[in-house]
Amino acid sequence: MRQLLITIGCVLTIFLGGCKQPAKNAESDQATKSNQTTENKNETKQTGPKTLADAATITARKEVPVLCYHQIRDWAASDGKVARDYIVPVENFKAQLKILADSGYHTILPNQLYDYLAYGTTLPAKPVMLTYDDTDDDQFTIAAPEMKKYGFKGVFFIMTVSLNRPRYMSREQVKQLSDEGHVVESHTWDHHKVTGYKTPEDWTTQIEKPKNLIGELTGKTSEHFAYPFGLWNKEAIPELKKRGVKSAYILSTKRDPDDPLFTIRRMIASGYWSAPGMYRSMMQTFKL
């Protein structure tokens, strides 16, 4: 009789909705649901749109040193006094990279600097950006191998008119730099300063076409720009924005308080400087 009552009880339980889970298991289910809800909230938070900082906030962020190199070769007798300022002798260049590495610096790239300035994202300790203008082939044959010794990456602002010409990089070399983790960006078609653009065709020739060609060569979107001679004006900024440029680099002149992302400062690495001289100048220029 007792066994019959137990059997009837189980049948009734199943019929009325099934056996309840023990209290401990119910709590576990609730915790799992709670964790899933939290994870979903976190995912929403992480994938939500970022809010671009205002100009004052961007300007107030601590500047990151950005060095600008041109030619990297030993001086020739025909090089004038002014030209030598833009030509860094090979051993000087090697010593300059070594002092950065020995001092604990880590190279960053334009998207990292943009995210730091625009959104306040974290950068590596002691960040520095190494940039190279004008497409000279010694940037490929000398600068890139030297950077590789220290795990450094560089940014190459190229003039697309010079590709495949003598003493300049080839298209294949530009692609190789990009494939190796460096960044290739535009420095216009033929180095005409933006302050002299008069017609829509000027912007197409100097900004749009080089930007598109870089994309074709590297398979990556070109979104950053270096002004030839570091010269810019307020009229240029909306034109760059319309053409998909996110940030632009000047030299060590004053930034624009209204558009600091389009007036990011760089310091020319002079051919006259020793490594310690370059380092001291970097520290002074960027108030490090």
Asked, for residue 251, whether it belongs to a domain, the answer is: yes
Long-range contacts of 104-110 (CB under 8 A, 24+ apart): 107/147, 107/152, 107/153, 107/154, 108/64, 109/153, 109/155, 109/183, 110/155, 110/183, 110/185, 110/223, 110/224, 110/247
Nearest to 137 by CA among 110, 155, 112, 164: 164
Please name the helix (run of DSSP H) or strand (run of DSSP E) that holds residue 225, with its range, or none.
strand 224-226
Asked, for residue 54, whether it belongs to a domain, the answer is: no
Instruction: Based on the fold, state whether residues 146 and 87 are members of the same structural domain.
Output: yes
Q: What is the distance, to the nearest Å, from the Cα of residue 63 to the centroid of all Cα atoms in its chain?
A: 14
What is the pLDDT, as a whole number, of residue 49? 66
CA distance 125 to 134: 29
Instruction: Based on the fold, state whether residues 76 and 153 are members of the same structural domain.
Output: yes
What is the pLDDT, as a whole number, of residue 87? 98
CA distance 214 to 265: 23
Instruction: Based on the fold, state whether residues 7 and 149 are members of the same structural domain.
Output: no
pTM: 0.83
What is the pLDDT, as a whole number, of residue 117? 98
Instruction: Based on the fold, state whether residues 10 and 77 are members of the same structural domain.
Output: no
Instruction: Based on the fold, state whether residues 30 and 136 are members of the same structural domain.
Output: no
Number of domains in the chain: 2
Domain carrying residue 91: 63-285
What is the pLDDT, as a whole number, of residue 1? 42
| pLDDT averaged per 10 residues in sequence order, the chain, 288 residues | 42 37 41 38 45 97 98 97 97 98 98 98 98 98 98 98 98 98 98 96 98 98 98 97 98 96 98 97 96
Asked, for residue 237, whether it belongs to a domain, the answer is: yes
Instruction: Based on the fold, state whether residues 181 and 157 are members of the same structural domain.
Output: yes
Asked, for residue 30, whether it belongs to a domain, the answer is: yes
What is the pLDDT, as a whole number, of residue 4? 38
- Here the CATH number for the domain that contains residue 215 is 3.20.20.370
